[in-house]
Copies of this chain bind each other. A is one copy, B any other.
């Protein structure tokens, strides 16, 4: 017979661990002194304990160890197979994290500070009242004037139709052969009843996987955010499958530093 300390020393664990296993019913002492509460173990329990510790060191939870302890070998086999799958998944997840850490460090080397702002998510479902206009190209110098010219009018016409405009959303199509870009300018309208008119279309943006970055401040600098986002996407092993969406989360004035625009680029695994 062994005292708790002797068994602990043989197995190189703490007495506290053995008390814990006793409490869980995982390894109950062969005898317990009724007066003093002293635990007494048999030597064959060292073998039991070793099995418990071996499974524990494989990362198996104590509840699952208890579950296979008195079960047929089949159970043990199944549990080990499960653990194999879990471990493979954990390794994958950590390797993915490792890749992302490397990407952030690369971005830091280049002085880019935004890589940590990028989020991959599914876009929110959006119902939009929008107009289509053609710009002579991308970039704020081409798009900006379009906004100034058409957005106030759109807002006014929605109000006239008793529709509360929500957030402002712009999205783009690929340029045609001459470089002209079809731009959709719209406001979220939720589920308010509205069918559009001969100029205003009502559309739902498909819910897709997007990489998203936040742009703050004047829209003139939005191409920096855009460039950083594209770089992040390439480094992360995605490819862009659609043109960008820009969601204006907050807008004070054209040059206000409190402006916040979310830039979304639909992506897929490269």
List chain A positions with a Cβ less than 8 A from chain B.
Answer: 10, 12, 42-44, 46-47, 50-51, 53-55, 57-59, 73, 76-77, 80-81, 83-84, 87-88, 90-91, 94-95, 97-98, 100-102, 104-105, 108, 113, 116-119, 121, 214, 216, 249-250, 258, 260
Contact = CB atoms under 8 A, between A and B. Distances in A.
Contacts of A59: 94, 97
A97 B113 CA distance: 37
A80 B95 contact: no
B105 A80 contact: yes
Contact of A119 (B50, B83, B250): B50
Interface centre among A50, A88, A260 (most CB of B within 10 A): A50
B91 A54 contact: no
Contacts of A43: 249-250, 258, 260
A57 to B, nearest CB: 8
Contacts of A51: 116-117
A250 B117 CA distance: 63
Contacts of A214: 46-47, 50
A260 B44 contact: yes
A46 B214 CA distance: 9
Interface of A (DSSP majority class): helix
B94 A87 contact: yes
Nearest to A115: B54
A80 B104 contact: yes
A14 to B, nearest CB: 15
A208 B113 CA distance: 51
A101 B116 contact: no
A59 B51 CA distance: 30
Given A87-B97, A91-B91, 5 more contacts: A50-B118, A54-B104, A58-B97, A80-B104, A84-B101
A88 B81 contact: no
Contact of A91 (B12, B50, B98, B102): B98
Nearest to A250: B43
A152 B133 CA distance: 103
B54 A118 contact: yes
A73 B250 CA distance: 27
Contacts of A55: 116
A44 B216 contact: yes
A38 to B, nearest CB: 19
A116 B50 contact: yes
Given A73-B108, A97-B58, A216-B44, A50 B117 contact: yes
Given A216-B44, A216-B47, A249-B46, A58 B119 contact: no
